[in-house]
Amino acid sequence: MSDVNYKEIIWNGLWKNNAGIVTLLGLCPLLAVSTSVVNGVGLGIATIMVMAFSNGIVSLARNWIPREIRIPVYILIIAVLVTIIDLSMNAFVQPLYLVLGIFVPLIVVNCNVLGRAEAFASKNPVLPSMVDGFMVGMGLTLILAVLGGMREILGKGTLLSGIDLAFGASAKAWVITVIPDYHGFLLAVLPPGAFIGLGLLIAGKNWLDQRKAARAEPAQAPQAATAAA
């Protein structure tokens, strides 16, 4: 258990295997909800919660789950967990529920949760599994926030609109008007804007990775490079 590499788990979740722009899992809620930063982060936080707990429980139960029926059992665990979170939030933290509530049911259909249960939590101890779930959720939240920000600036000319729903009416002052007197660019807010924005983000990540690889290459194998040329 001591050989668990948390650094790698974090790096994988946030960047290398980012759910939003690399594995491209759970795109349905991602594309639908990322119309603004606040919406995106809202879905992100709900996803982090569900993923951390579902990974933890799957890991806890992993020795009792026969291989042949693991998928239905995971689905059962995730569905029960999401429903419990949904009901408890509604009952005990109503203000939070009003903001995040609509996102929670969306997570049941998010295959990231099932994907991490199968790929990580079923083979690892509880703590690393929870960290993994948290970090994959975190990676998704970052993408949601960036994509939400892009679409919000282009579509409405603002940032953080709707923040008053989360922090009360006084938070209305936090809304940043990036482009004053902007009439809106509808395409960015509608579904095509989500696809185009996501495409740009994926391209951006690939570009960064390639640039890094190109820089590393000459240092590591200069002779191989010249031989190939």
Partner 1 sequence: MSVYTRHSTKLALVLAAFALVGTTLLALTYSATKDNIAASEKKAKLALIAQILPPALYDNDIIRDASELQPTAELGTAEPTLVYRALKDGQAVAAILEVVAPDGYAGKIKLLVAIKSSGEISGVRVVAHKETPGLGDYIEIAKNSWIKVFDGTSLDKHPSKEWKVKKDGGQFDYMTGATITPRAVIKAVHKALVWYSNNQEKIFSLPAQEQTK
Residues that bind partner 1 (CB under 8 A): 35, 64-66, 68-69, 72-73, 76-77, 79-80, 83-84, 87-88, 90-92, 94, 98, 155-156, 184, 186, 189-190
Q: Which is nearer to partner 1, 72 or 105 (CB)?
A: 72
Q: Which is nearer to partner 1, 98 or 208 (CB)?
A: 98
Q: CB of 167: closest distance to partner 1 in angstroms? A: 15
Q: CB of 8: closest distance to partner 1 in angstroms? A: 31
| Nearest-5° Cα angle at 13, 12 to 18 | 90
Query: Over 59-110, what HEC string results?
Result: HHHCCCCCHHHHHHHHHHHHHHHHHHHHHHHHHHCHHHHHHHCCCHHHHHCC
Q: Which is nearer to partner 1, 18 or 158 (CB)?
A: 158
Q: CB of 99: closest distance to partner 1 in angstroms? A: 13
Q: How far is the C-alpha of 31 from the C-alpha of 123, rounded, in Å? A: 30
Classify residue 123 by its DSSP letter.
T
Q: Which is nearer to partner 1, 77 or 144 (CB)?
A: 77
Q: Which is nearer to partner 1, 34 or 35 (CB)?
A: 35
Q: CB of 185: closest distance to partner 1 in angstroms? A: 9
Nearest CA-CA partner of 135 in 8, 18, 10, 47: 10
Q: How far apart are the first and last CA of the chain?
A: 46
Q: How far is the C-alpha of 153 from the C-alpha of 178, rounded, in Å? A: 7
